[in-house]
Each structure stands twice: as structure tokens, then as C-alpha cells.
Amino acid sequence: MKSINAERFSLIDTIECGQTFNWIREGEGYINAELGQVIYVEQQNNTLFYETSMSDSVSLREMFRLDDPLDEIQREIVRDGVMRQSIEFAPNLRIIRDPFFPCLISFICSSCKNIPAIHRMMANIRIKFGKEYDFRGKTFFGFPTPEQLSEASIKDLERSELGYRAKYVRSTTESIVSGMISEKDLRKMTYSEAHRTLKSLHGVGDKVADCVCLFSLGFLEAFPIDIWIERVIKEHYDIFTETGKGYARKSAAARKYFGRYGGYAQEYLYNFSRSQGRFPEC
């Protein structure tokens, strides 16, 4: 296997913290089949060992944001004891940079679902509609392209355990295929523009748009807020006290308070609180 140096990085914390549904556990490492080929990655100390099914053109440094200035980020977002605890719990967790379409669909599917259920839905979509790969003596399935997924009917998607989310996935996929919204255009926008544009897609609200902005498009100021992270913020901070009930005002308050690396602050808080049993996984 090939290898790259990965200082200040934890593969398991980064993949298992709830920010990505594109990786599956395999042996001592993880498999990703979303990039037109299969990638296997495992970590030993500060080294990532990896193998690919076609070529090594995929940049793990980019996917795992290994060049983010983690020391600087953590110094900027530390505000109090709970954030310090959250960072100390997983100091080498980094924000992921996932492929756009699988990230978008996975977070549309995340509505009112826990992490294991989201993984099941994504696996069902891969198996039924994605490309099949033979790799390391096993069969893996990659996430379908928008064109491939557009051939699935709402009934097909419902049978993949998507439930009411099926119509959202179908409509959003059609919008992507038609060119109404493109990843290329989104990456040229500001955070606010990209967030607003994503919300025009069926099934994409404020939180899903923030997740896609943060975990795929690279807007590190994005601060996804769900019921669980809102409870954590209210318990430890007073930044929501004068914002009212609207998501936009709460998001703006969190981004102002934590700054340009607000997404890292959110993920550290989310991961630590989840580890303490604050977020049910049933």
C-alpha cells in the first residue's frame, strides 16, 4: 500500500463523528467508493496507508483537510471549559471534504433519522442504483451519479427505506441533472449565497444546507444547528438568548461568536456531547 504522512489527524474520530456517511468500516480501516473508484485507508500512528482500485489520483490530503491549521483553529474557537473538553476528547478530529452529491443526498435523508439509519439508507441506494466494484476480493457499491439516481422512481426510493424523503431525493436529483444548481457554481459563491441557493432544492432546509456547506463545499464558518446542538449551546452559552426562534439568527449568532472556524467548533461540541450519551442513537 501507498502511504502519506498525517500529523494531527485521527481517521477514526473524523469518520465516526457523524459528519460523513460516505465511508464504511472494513477490517483495520475504511472504504470509500464514491469517487469513481474504491479507496481503502487505514491509519498507523501518523501515517495513512491506502490502496485504490484504479489510480492514486485521489488526494487524501484534500479529502481529510490535512492542511487545515489545526492548532490555530483550536486556539481561535476555545471559549470556555466545555469547548476545551470537547477539543481534548478528540484533538485530531478534522472536518471532512466529501463529494458533493452523496453528501447532499445523505443529509436530505438525515431528517428525523439517527446515524445508523442514515447509513442503512445510503447503503440501500448504493446497492440498488450505484456502480459495482470488485476490490480486494470483495464487492463494493459506489454512490450513483445524479444521472443514475434520476432513473429511480419514488417507489424505488421508498423501497430503499427513504420513506417521505424519497420525493425530496427524486426532486433534488432532477434539479441537479437539469443544471438548475451545480457544484461548480456553488463553489464560486460566498457562504451566504451557497446556503441560500441550496435551500431552493426540495427537502433542503437550513440545517441540511449548512451541513453541505461545511462537509462538502468547505465553508468552515457554517454552523449546522439541530435540536441536539441547540440544547448544548443553550446549556453552555448565552448566544441564543436574544436571537429569537429563527434558525438564521441563531446561525448568525453562532458564526459571530465562534468566528471563521465555527464549523470546527460545532463538530467538536457535537462529537463530545454524543460521546457522553447526550444524543440518542436508537
User: How do residues 85-133 score in pLDDT, each as one tens digit?
Assistant: 999 999 999 999 999 999 999 999 998 788 899 999 999 999 999 999 9
129: how many CB neighbours lie within 10 A of its CB?
20
User: Coil, strand, or helix at residue 182?
Assistant: coil
The three grid cell numbers given for residue 25, joined into one nine-digit string? 468500516
d(CA 176, CA 150): 9
What predicted TM-score, i.e. pTM, was given to this entire model?
0.94
Contacts of residue 69, Cβ cutoff 8 Å, sequence gap at least 6: none
**What is the structure's pLDDT at 98?**
97
Give CATH for domain 2-68.
3.30.310.40
**What is the structure's pLDDT at 275?**
87
Ranges of each domain in the chain: 2-68
> What average pLDDT does the structure give for the chain?
93
Question: 239 falls in which pLDDT band (50, 70, 90)?
Answer: confident
d(CA 72, CA 86): 16
User: How do residues 1-23 score in pLDDT, each as one tens digit?
Assistant: 899 999 999 999 999 999 999 99
